């Protein structure tokens, strides 16, 4: 039994639904079901009753839930206390990100951070938002720059909006509207849209739908890419159109136009996400610099 098994169990117990718990944990439902079954086999008891209307904790499950929550809390407190009060040196600052954010705010704040704290090492891990959330839970990174995260992450982590980004449309340069100064998003009503992988970018397609619904139509999402670069490549190949924050234009985009929208004018958010417990010294120092650069 490992701490991740306890995290899985607590999340399922809170949701009483494997599908919702799997979304929160950013793993597949079958994988989560297997982990819970393995845990039940190891304990030798049934933790959940599988009912037609969902799950219910058994008496043993209720007892184990309290114990699991206590163990997880104690492990977090122990690790943070050691890092905060007993370490003589600052731990490296470990950051999860995806490329577009690194070009602007992250680069600016890290430049200031290195000037102020040259002794603290910085480590980077390029990850999709889903991978960043898993890494936060496992303690593999200190802070994640996720973009527009699902709202439910606020229940588990501290989520801070650090920058608002205008949403633009992505069109192939051969598109009839590609030479306009700006367009109304509703002009793309009949187009096929390219969305994002739900596993790597959870709930991001909901954001795309929100932007289009605000313009008066439901988008026809017919392809799903696993990165912003992949979306750009698919648009360039004439496979459809899409929308994303303007900052995505920092990525190579030959044969693709990042088209401003004059109606509706919509914004995405770049967010920083970190665990709610007391931050390690290096993260605490970085957060102070980050907040000085935040655009409210």
Q: Judge whether 3-86 and 93-162+270-293 match in fold.
A: no
Give the fold, CATH level 3, of 166-267. D-Maltodextrin-Binding Protein; domain 2 (3.40.190)
User: Which pLDDT score is estimated for 214?
Assistant: 94
**pLDDT, tens digit (0-9, with 9 covering 90-100), for 3-50:** 999 999 999 999 999 999 998 888 889 999 999 999 999 999 999 998
CA angle, 196 then 132 then 161, to 5°: 85
Residue 296 binned pLDDT confidence (cut-offs 50, 70, 90): low
Of all residues in the chain, the percent with pLDDT exceeding 90 is 59
User: Which pLDDT score is estimated for 150?
Assistant: 79
Write down the pTM of the prediction.
0.65
Q: Domain segments of the chain: what residues?
A: 3-86, 93-162+270-293, 166-267
User: Which pLDDT score is estimated for 56?
Assistant: 94
User: Which pLDDT score is estimated for 86?
Assistant: 65
**pLDDT, tens digit (0-9, with 9 covering 90-100), for 97-116:** 877 655 667 888 999 999 99
Residues 6+ apart with CB under 8 A from 263: 184, 185, 186, 215
Selected residue with higher pLDDT from 182 and 165: 182
With 70 as the cut, is the pLDDT of residue 140 above it? yes
Burial 269-280 (b: 16+ CB within 10 A, else e): bbbbbbbeeebb
User: According to CATH, what is the number of the domain 93-162+270-293?
Assistant: 3.40.190.10
**pLDDT, tens digit (0-9, with 9 covering 90-100), for 192-244:** 999 999 888 888 899 999 999 999 999 999 999 988 899 999 999 999 999 99
Spatial distance between the Cα atoms of 265 and 269, rounded to a whole number of angstroms? 14
- For 293, the enclosing helix (H) or strand (E) is helix 281-293
Selected residue with higher pLDDT from 49 and 152: 49
CATH of range 3-86; options 1.10.10.10, 3.30.980.20, 1.10.287.950, 3.40.50.1980: 1.10.10.10
User: Which pLDDT score is estimated for 147?
Assistant: 78
């Amino acid at each position: 039994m490992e701490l991740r098994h306890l995290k899985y169990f607590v999340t399922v117990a809170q949701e009483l639904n494997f599908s919702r718990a799997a979304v929160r944990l950013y793993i597949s439902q079958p994988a989560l079901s297997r982990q819970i079954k393995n845990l039940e086999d190891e304990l030798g008891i049934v933790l959940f009753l599988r009912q037609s209307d969902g799950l219910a904790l058994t008496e043993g499950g209720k007892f184990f839930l309290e114990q699991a929550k206590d163990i997880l809390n104690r492990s977090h407190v122990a690790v943070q206390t050691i890092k905060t009060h007993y370490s003589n040196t600052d731990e490296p600052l470990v950051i999860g990100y995806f490329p577009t954010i690194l070009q602007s705010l992250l680069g600016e704040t890290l430049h200031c951070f290195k000037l102020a704290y040259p002794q603290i090492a910085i480590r980077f891990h390029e990850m999709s938002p889903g991978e960043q959330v898993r890494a936060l839970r496992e303690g593999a990174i200190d802070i994640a720059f996720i973009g527009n995260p699902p709202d439910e992450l606020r229940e588990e982590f501290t989520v801070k909006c650090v920058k608002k980004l205008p949403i633009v449309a992505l069109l192939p340069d051969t598109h009839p509207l590609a030479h306009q100064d700006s367009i109304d998003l509703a002009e793309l009503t009949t187009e096929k849209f390219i969305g994002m992988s739900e596993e790597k970018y959870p709930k991001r397609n909901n954001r795309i739908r929100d932007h289009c619904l605000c313009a008066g139509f439901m988008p026809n999402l017919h392809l799903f890419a696993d990165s912003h670069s992949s979306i750009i490549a698919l648009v360039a190949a004439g496979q459809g159109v899409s929308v994303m924050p303007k900052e995505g234009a920092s990525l190579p985009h030959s044969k693709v136009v990042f088209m401003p929208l004059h109606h509706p004018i919509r914004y995405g958010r770049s967010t920083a996400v970190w665990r709610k417990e007391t931050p390690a010294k290096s993260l605490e120092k970085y957060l102070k610099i980050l907040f000085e650069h935040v655009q409210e």
